């Protein structure tokens, strides 16, 4: 069974849904089946980044391309950032 890497502290942050993934139209590809993996990093919190039209377009175009897997990452809010730093966890 998969255990989310943030499971131990999600109950301590104000908006845990920002960090769990699984949003509508999320693309999931097998990393072993692609030739390139791309991460779109947005320098703000999830709600701002997910409403950014350019990020939506790039994510969609890249994931429709054969051989490319694209993911997104957003800046954590201060409460989650503190937990990540204290536990030595990545975004």
Which pLDDT value is given to residue 79?
95
pTM of the model as a whole: 0.81
Which pLDDT value is given to residue 90?
83
Which pLDDT value is given to residue 75?
95
- Of 40, 31, 29, 33, nearest to 63 by C-alpha is 29
pLDDT tens, N- to C-terminus, the chain (91 residues): 778 888 899 999 999 989 888 888 788 899 899 999 999 999 999 999 999 999 999 999 999 999 999 999 999 999 999 999 999 998 7
């Amino acid at each position: 069974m998969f255990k989310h890497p943030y499971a131990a502290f999600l109950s301590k942050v104000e908006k845990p849904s920002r960090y769990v993934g699984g949003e509508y139209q999320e693309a999931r590809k097998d990393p072993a089946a692609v030739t390139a993996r791309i991460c779109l990093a947005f320098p703000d919190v999830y709600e701002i980044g997910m409403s950014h039209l350019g990020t939506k377009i790039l994510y969609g175009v890249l994931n429709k391309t054969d051989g490319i897997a694209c993911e997104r990452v957003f800046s954590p809010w201060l409460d989650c950032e503190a937990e990540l730093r204290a536990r030595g966890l990545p975004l």
